Amino acid sequence: MSFYITTAIDYVNGVPHLGHAYEKISADVLARHQRQRGEDVFFLTGTDEHGEPVADAAHAQGIEPQALADRNAARFKALLPALEISNDFFIRTTDPEHKRRVQEVLARVHDNGHVYKGLYEGWYCPRCADFKVENEILEGNRCPIHEIALTREAEENWFFRLSTFQDALERLFDSRPDFVMPTRACNEARAFIAQGLQDVSLSRAKLRWGVSVPWDEGHVFYVWFDALLNYYTALHYARAGEDLTERYWPAQYHVIGKDILKFHAVFWPAMLMAADLPVPAHVFVHGFLMGEDGRKMSKSLGNVLDPFEVIERYGADALRFYLAREVVFGADGNVGMNGLRARYDAELANELGNLASRTLAMLSRYCDQAVPAADTDPALREDFAGLLEGVCALFDAAESTRALDLIWQRVRRLNQYVEERRPWELAKDEGRRGELEQVLASLWEGLRVVTVMITPFIPQSAGRLLEALGESDASLAAAGYAARVGGATVSTIPPLFPRLEDAATAAAQP
């Protein structure tokens, strides 16, 4: 089965921040899990480069929009490998292939009779690049998101007949209650539709920085339609000489933040229907990251979690793990350096790190690095029964935080098993050699299983650990807890998650 997953594409008027990193990591976890299941995955991310916010920011710096876009797109792109994001393509909406395809699709929408020319007048936020409807506007005609003063704008432009899709959208939401996930976001989208949909402006006459309207060259498309179409256009040119549309369209998940719900849950499916294209399976709406004090992160408040600082000090896996574990996917969460440090110490270093070094050390010391050929302990087998199915079922519902919790319960169970069975004592008694071998074989198998399953969250550490366990198969087909094991050769490795006081030294190592 094909599994196409996308993130929002980031505005290049600013530089990447933790919210951007969080979204890319969250989508990456889903993509990696599906690859482990053997699905045919395509994972797209990129940058949103047209529109007023970018043009304004460029002019404020005295440079051309393209120069600003080039500079900042490079920073967004560079963030991806640093976060171990496994995207298959990076789209920039200034790519000529994207622009051509946007024109083709929207010309079809025009030819299908869904656009008309009219006069638009309303309150406009240049930061959102969006007109605001009366009931959203804050006192003093301010933007509900940016709180800045809105400007009164009137211009002749092309309109998309969104209002005529009212019934079709209601039917879509009725027939597919999980079209927008989670439920809270779905309800919000439905409430927006229930208010009654107004037509939306599709083009801008004043702006030059955008994709020109093919049937009226004096206009450029409103940046949101250009941007939304990235999910579709990328498949046409992501692979040279190949069109991936048939293979991957429609997407399984568009992963987005809650501030851009209306565009993805309402405008986007209507636009696709207007272009005779199938709509995506799901729009998944994640929450917002806030500081540990519950306030929006800001440098002046000193509650910022800087992704680059975390990566440098603890590695990308620690950041990925912390965000996936701390912030329930689909809900808001408070994050910061204190919380990260606490989970790093307690969970990564003490629980998983310790389990790994103990298991590898005991197999080296007592078994000469060879995993004993033995039946695994039925008690552990029982504790692992249903784990794979449980993790997959949670991932099917995009509940990655709960999936991680299920895996983590087994990490804790394995540590408890070590304490219960005390292999170092068994090793003192030659008469209990069989027992020792069974305990170590069972531990090895448990550690192998959790490592395979946790790979999407901490890919680099999991890869190192699997290699040390002498087992290279990271597919989920290999993630069942076996009744009998043996034969692999383990090796010992430096701590996966060095203790904090050691972190600086470890970072200095090659």
Minimum distance, C-beta of residue 401 to ligand ME8, in the bound complex (Å): 14
Q: Is 275 in the site for ligand ME8 (CB under 6 A)?
A: no
Beta strands in 126-252 (DSSP E): 130-132, 151-160, 180-181, 200-201, 203-204, 212-213, 216-221
Q: Measured between alpha carbons, how far is 494 from 471 in angstroms, rounded to an integer?
A: 18
Q: Is 227 in the site for ligand ME8 (CB under 6 A)?
A: yes
Strand bridging mode 10-11 / 282-286: unpaired
Q: Is 495 in the site for ligand ME8 (CB under 6 A)?
A: no
Among residues 76 and 123, whose Cβ is nearest to ligand ME8? 76
Q: Is 305 in the site for ligand ME8 (CB under 6 A)?
A: no
Q: Is 52 in the site for ligand ME8 (CB under 6 A)?
A: no
Q: Measured between alpha carbons, how far is 365 from 358 in angstroms, rounded to an integer?
A: 10
Total site size for ligand ME8, rule CB under 6 A: 18
Q: Measured between alpha carbons, how far is 258 from 251 in angstroms, rounded to an integer?
A: 19
From the list 198-206, 208-216, 223-231, 310-318, the region that binds ligand ME8 by CB under 6 A is 223-231
Minimum distance, C-beta of residue 124 to ligand ME8, in the bound complex (Å): 17
Among residues 26 and 451, whose Cβ is nearest to ligand ME8? 26
Minimum distance, C-beta of residue 379 to ligand ME8, in the bound complex (Å): 42
Q: Is 426 in the site for ligand ME8 (CB under 6 A)?
A: no
Among residues 178 and 259, whose Cβ is nearest to ligand ME8? 259
- With CB under 6 A as the contact rule, the residue among 4, 22, 384, 417 that binds ligand ME8 is 22
Minimum distance, C-beta of residue 378 to ligand ME8, in the bound complex (Å): 45
Tokens (6 digits) for 321: 């793990």
Q: Measured between alpha carbons, how far is 47 from 239 in angstroms, rounded to an integer?
A: 18
Q: Is 11 in the site for ligand ME8 (CB under 6 A)?
A: yes
- With CB under 6 A as the contact rule, the residue among 8, 30, 68, 251 that binds ligand ME8 is 8
b (16+ CB within 10 A) / e for 117-132: eeebebbbbbbbbbbb
Q: Which residues are catalytic?
A: 17, 20, 125, 128, 143, 146, 296, 299
**Within 10 Å of residue 194's Cβ, how many Cβ atoms?**
11
From the list 224-232, 242-250, 345-353, 464-472, the region that binds ligand ME8 by CB under 6 A is 224-232
Q: Is 126 in the site for ligand ME8 (CB under 6 A)?
A: no
Q: Is 288 in the site for ligand ME8 (CB under 6 A)?
A: yes
**Within 10 Å of residue 431's Cβ, how many Cβ atoms?**
7
- Taking only Cα atoms into account, the Rg of the chain, rounded to an integer number of angstroms, comes to 26
Q: Is 130 in the site for ligand ME8 (CB under 6 A)?
A: no
- With CB under 6 A as the contact rule, the residue among 3, 4, 5, 9 that binds ligand ME8 is 9
Phi, psi of 47 (to 5 degrees): -130, 150
Q: Is 23 in the site for ligand ME8 (CB under 6 A)?
A: yes
By beta-carbon distance, which residue lies closest to ligand ME8? 257
Please give the C-alpha separations between residue 485 and each of 6, 297, 348, 366, 434, in angstroms, as whole numbers.
39, 49, 26, 17, 14
- Which residues on neighbouring strands pair with residue 9, listed in sequence order? none
Q: Is 48 in the site for ligand ME8 (CB under 6 A)?
A: yes
Token match 């920073």: residue?
75
Tokens (6 digits) for 102: 């946007």
Q: Is 256 in the site for ligand ME8 (CB under 6 A)?
A: yes
Q: Measured between alpha carbons, how far is 65 from 57 in angstroms, rounded to an integer?
A: 8
- With CB under 6 A as the contact rule, the residue among 259, 345, 375, 435 that binds ligand ME8 is 259
Among residues 94 and 230, whose Cβ is nearest to ligand ME8? 230
Minimum distance, C-beta of residue 222 to ligand ME8, in the bound complex (Å): 12
Beta strands in 112-229 (DSSP E): 115-125, 130-132, 151-160, 180-181, 200-201, 203-204, 212-213, 216-221
Minimum distance, C-beta of residue 102 to ligand ME8, in the bound complex (Å): 12
- With CB under 6 A as the contact rule, the residue among 31, 80, 197, 260 that binds ligand ME8 is 260
Q: Please list, in sequence order, all residues whose beta carbon lies within 8 angstroms of the beta carbon of residue 170, skipping any fewer than 6 positions away.
A: 193
Q: Is 289 in the site for ligand ME8 (CB under 6 A)?
A: yes
- With CB under 6 A as the contact rule, the residue among 228, 279, 360, 465 that binds ligand ME8 is 228
Beta strands in 165-247 (DSSP E): 180-181, 200-201, 203-204, 212-213, 216-221
From the list 2-10, 383-391, 399-407, 435-443, the region that binds ligand ME8 by CB under 6 A is 2-10
Phi, psi of 245 (to 5 degrees): -60, -50
Q: Is 222 in the site for ligand ME8 (CB under 6 A)?
A: no
**Residues that bind ligand ME8 in the complex, under the rule CB under 6 A:** 8-11, 19-20, 22-23, 48, 227-228, 230, 256-257, 259-260, 288-289
